[in-house]
Structure 1
Amino acid sequence: MKPYPEYNNSGISWLGKIPKHWKAKRLKYVAQANQEALPESTANDYEFNYVDIGNVGLEEGIKLGERINFAKAPSRARRIVRNGDTIVSTVRTYLKAVAHIDFEPKDIVCSTGFAVISPGAVIVPKFLYYILRSEKIIDRVEALSVGVSYPAINASELMGIAAWYPPSLDEQKNIADYLDRKTAQIDDLISKKEKLIELLKEERAAIINQAVTKGLDPKAELKNSGLPWLGKIPKHWKVKRLKYLLKNKKGALKTGPFGSQLKHSDMQGADIKVYTQRSVMDNDFDSAELYISNDKFIELSEFEIFPQDILLTTRGTIGKCAIFPNGKDKGILHPCLIRVQLNQNIISNMFAQFYMKESSAFLESINHNSNATTIAVIYGETLREVVFVVPDRNEQNKIVDFLNHKTQQIDTQIVNEKKSVEYLVEYRSTLISEVVTGKIDVRNNHDSD
């Protein structure tokens, strides 16, 4: 890609040089903001698609919100949107919620947390959109926003930001068309990679589920497990409830303290960690937000977590588990965790973790013992009755070694594909900024490669 033949200083420090024949003016001189709004006299039964900040993303564009009538709409549902407009979030500006309306909208109303920017006669609608979503404008909007936790910019200040453009509408259209083609190609690649990531995750789950419920030998003689959700299992495997796999000691299966035992006011910063569901889901036992005092720890010592305990999430995102590593800080269970201590002579922690965390059979057994198709909470008494299928320890070790190898291969591929997606997203953003600021001359480039 070649640059334009000549450049001039734009006179704007954060913009720098632009092609010599381009102009730079404040947005308010090339576009208008918030031209139409629903009046308070709007009929109560008037229906429209409401778009809030959660419906808009810089990469995803706009997702139409639910249809609601004026009487039930929030008071911020006022801004009317037309074809060719670009909406820019003026609140929580760090979310970079910018989207173009390139279809004939039918009764779309967005939140007053957006500025609805309509192009004037000197600027092509899609070119204006690419300016507004460029890194230059995004960074400027964030820089001018006021507030820490809820940064915002008012519409008049937004419209005071500089815009730049070639005077020729044909040139603007050529640039916008080029970016449409290129971003569509990039989006297609991203979509393919995201689908591949999902397929890899499904393959990973299927491999684990097969290994921990059927074993590694496809020729193994099978028997009926007696469990409708599990079907047949290797003939020499055993079906055991969790309560028969626990260590022979009090508290081998322990639910976190009740709310009355551990109040929020008890966890306001002290010496001993309270490990939470987030610790388990992220497999991160170094970070912590909640602590209790030594005195409180002594009071709740029965809830202490020990190395190699299996920790299981019990509310909201249920059934996630992790093995508490050696060498981590002393701590206790959060009320939303269960501690499981297994008899290692019968079942290994690693085999149990694969079975609990990755196999559908585990959740199906919880559902069965809860007499429900979906569950919001796992209780200790329910968990004790959950069914495991258990080969001998030697076979468990072989399965664990196999799964460690296979999942590491797939996880590496998933990580690489995610990095590719991140690169493509970054490349798309950089390409838009380079082209729309005139660093690259695409006037005569009609390729579709």
Structure 2
Amino acid sequence: MSGVVSQPLPNSWQVKKLRYLTTVIGGGTPDKSKSEFWGGDIPWVSPKDMKKSEIFQTEDCITEEGLQSSATNLVGPHAVLVVVRSGILRHSIPVAVNMVPVSLNQDMRAFICGETISPKYLARFIEGYQRQLLSVWSKEGATVESLDADEMASTEIAVPPLPQQAQILQFLDSELAVVDTLIEAKQKLLNLLAEKRQTLVAEAVMRGLVRSAPLRPSGIDWLGDIPAHWGIERSRWLFTERDDRSDTGEEEMLTVSHITGVTPRSEKDVNMFEAETTAGYKLCFTGDLVINTLWAWMGAMGTAPVDGIVSPAYNVYTPGQRLLPAYVDALVRIPVFAQEVTRYSKGVWSSRLRLYPEGFFETFWPVPPLDEQGQIVAYIDEERIKIDKLATATERSIALLKERRSALIAAAVTGQIDIPEAA
């Protein structure tokens, strides 16, 4: 059936194209510059709200005036909501059922189910077959991952009689509750490991490794007490700005992220804007500190692991002899440092703050002895390996549970599981 379901179905089941089972409603965005369109009581669903299987509320709401002034539509309860344009479509299709009337943004579609198919059953079908559906629905050549409306409408869906749909849903609710509980527990463990990793780094770079070492007030709010033998210095005396430019643009392109720090673009598995030429981009060398000027407030900074080039909109700084590049990288990647540089950033809106060199050079840094910096970096690396090993194993077990979840749904919605009527 359109390359999605290949198993034979029970005799009482039907096969119908999605276009004959549902009516599709699109969405839009009211003018964000008009405050009278926003902050109302009509939920406005966008991809960021699609984290649960049922939608009761959304991050943003619009007014009746906003609804009437834009391309968005009011969708009654119990529609199947699907993300049709988002980077998340590289690996999954977010789907949910709205339990209250909602409006949609332009990256969403609502499927209003007819009399022969239950909304929750259709949502489960999409969940169970999302890998196969992605291969069929994905739009080729799109700048942002998108789903093809015609392919979606032409997809054939396995449709059992309504009483059997209810039995399947009851069975899945019971079985998936167990799987989802396990996934949730493992996800909590991942979050705890991430917190432990973050705390470990912050404690090491701001307090050192010897817990019994005498402390003294640093006089700097974000630092608090530091080991008594450490120095404190403004960054203007620790770094020099580098503004050398590439003649050819043929050097390794580096990217700067608040998640991964500085990494070669070739290692990024994402679609990124590429300029026609990178001649004139800024050179940076191994150990240089690179700061994404626009996203510094989020922590987008780190030291370069290799020689390369970065956007001319970024700022590059070379650490002096009093700082090890690896120590610099560890310190700038902790959240409290991002909060500190925000104080020196310029911009009207918090999401548009920019950290320029004159602001960066106002920040204060702890300066441990070089040998102690080396010990701190070695400790962090050793502990990170332990934590990352456990995190990787946990992520692998979550992936396996999710595969089991999808397989269970797929088998149930194609009649491959004998479900007792009393289930």
Is the TM value for this pair above 0.5? Answer: yes
Corresponding residue number in structure 2 for 1:131: 125
Partners of 1:393 and 1:159 lie apart in 2 by 64
Q: How big is the shift at 1:240?
A: 1.6
CA distance 1:147–1:81, change in 2 (3 Å): farther
CA distance 1:280–1:437, change in 2 (3 Å): closer
CA distance 1:308–1:229, change in 2 (3 Å): closer
For normalisation by structure 1, the TM-score amounts to 0.73
Corresponding residue number in structure 2 for 1:190: 183
1:204 aligns with 2:180: no
CA distance 1:445–1:30, change in 2 (3 Å): farther
Confirm or deny: 8 A CA contact 1:239 1:387 kept in the other structure: yes
Confirm or deny: 8 A CA contact 1:56 1:99 kept in the other structure: no
Partners of 2:316 and 2:25 lie apart in 1 by 59
Q: 1:54 aligns with which of 47, 54, 62?
A: 47
Corresponding residue number in structure 2 for 1:153: 149
1:164 aligns with 2:164: no
Partners of 2:26 and 2:305 lie apart in 1 by 59
Q: How big is the shift at 1:89?
A: 5.7
CA distance 1:307–1:439, change in 2 (3 Å): same
For residue 371 of structure 2, give the secondary structure of its aligned residue in structure 1.
helix
Q: 1:100 aligns with which of 86, 97, 101?
A: 97
Confirm or deny: 8 A CA contact 2:128 2:408 kept in the other structure: no
Corresponding residue number in structure 2 for 1:424: 401
1:68 aligns with 2:43: no
Partners of 1:232 and 1:279 lie apart in 2 by 26
**1:35-434 → structure 2 map (5 Å cutoff):** 49-54=42-47, 57=50, 61-62=54-55, 64-65=57-58, 66-73=60-67, 75-78=70-73, 80-83=75-78, 85-88=79-82, 96-101=93-98, 103=99, 105=100, 107-110=101-104, 114-120=109-115, 122-135=116-129, 139=132, 143=136, 148-149=141-142, 150-154=146-150, 161-167=155-161, 169-246=162-239, 252-254=240-242, 271-272=250-251, 275-277=254-256, 281=260, 283-285=262-264, 287=266, 289-290=274-275, 292=277, 297=280, 303-318=282-297, 319-326=299-306, 328=307, 331-344=308-321, 346-358=322-334, 360=336, 362-367=337-342, 369=344, 376-434=353-411
Q: 2:5 aligns with which of 8, 12, 15?
A: 15
Partners of 1:232 and 1:34 lie apart in 2 by 60
Partners of 2:258 and 2:211 lie apart in 1 by 37
Q: How big is the shift at 1:280?
A: 9.3
Partners of 1:79 and 1:239 lie apart in 2 by 58
Q: Structure 2: 5+ residue runs without aligned partners?
A: 28-35, 267-271
CA distance 1:422–1:370, change in 2 (3 Å): same
Q: Deviations over 1:398-422 (max 9, x none)?
A: 1111111112212222233233333
Corresponding residue number in structure 1 for 2:412: 435
Q: How big is the shift at 1:140?
A: 5.2
Q: How big is the shift at 1:179?
A: 0.8
Confirm or deny: 8 A CA contact 2:12 2:160 kept in the other structure: yes
Confirm or deny: 8 A CA contact 1:164 1:437 kept in the other structure: yes
Confirm or deny: 8 A CA contact 2:256 2:302 kept in the other structure: no
* AA of the residue aligned to 1:349: P
For residue 26 of structure 1, give the secondary structure of its aligned residue in structure 2.
strand
Partners of 1:368 and 1:284 lie apart in 2 by 26
Q: How big is the shift at 1:35?
A: 9.7
CA distance 1:15–1:199, change in 2 (3 Å): closer
Q: How many pairs align?
A: 395
For residue 226 of structure 2, give the secondary structure of its aligned residue in structure 1.
strand
Q: How big is the shift at 1:286?
A: 5.4
Partners of 2:138 and 2:291 lie apart in 1 by 42
Confirm or deny: 8 A CA contact 2:342 2:353 kept in the other structure: no
Q: Structure 1: 5+ residue runs without aligned partners?
A: 1-10, 38-43, 247-251
For normalisation by structure 2, the TM-score amounts to 0.76
Partners of 1:13 and 1:341 lie apart in 2 by 55
Corresponding residue number in structure 2 for 1:8: none
* AA of the residue aligned to 1:323: T
Q: Deviations over 1:309-366 (max 9, x none)?
A: 222222124443333234x4xx44423322222233x221112221222262x34543
Confirm or deny: 8 A CA contact 1:32 1:118 kept in the other structure: yes
Partners of 1:22 and 1:235 lie apart in 2 by 79
Confirm or deny: 8 A CA contact 2:10 2:415 kept in the other structure: no
Greater C-alpha radius of gyration: 1
Partners of 1:90 and 1:324 lie apart in 2 by 36
CA distance 1:335–1:127, change in 2 (3 Å): same
Partners of 2:26 and 2:252 lie apart in 1 by 54
Partners of 1:273 and 1:321 lie apart in 2 by 17
Corresponding residue number in structure 2 for 1:249: none
CA distance 1:332–1:91, change in 2 (3 Å): closer
For residue 18 of structure 1, give the secondary structure of its aligned residue in structure 2.
coil
CA distance 1:393–1:182, change in 2 (3 Å): same
Partners of 2:412 and 2:85 lie apart in 1 by 27
* AA of the residue aligned to 1:408: I
Q: How big is the shift at 1:386?
A: 1.7
CA distance 1:411–1:12, change in 2 (3 Å): closer
Confirm or deny: 8 A CA contact 1:91 1:114 kept in the other structure: no
CA distance 1:178–1:400, change in 2 (3 Å): same
Q: Deviations over 1:101-155 (max 9, x none)?
A: 4x4x2x33446852433241x555533432344417x74586367664154325x
Q: How big is the shift at 1:191?
A: 2.4
Percent of aligned positions with the same letter in both sequences? 22
CA distance 1:321–1:14, change in 2 (3 Å): closer
Partners of 2:126 and 2:55 lie apart in 1 by 15
Confirm or deny: 8 A CA contact 1:55 1:63 kept in the other structure: no
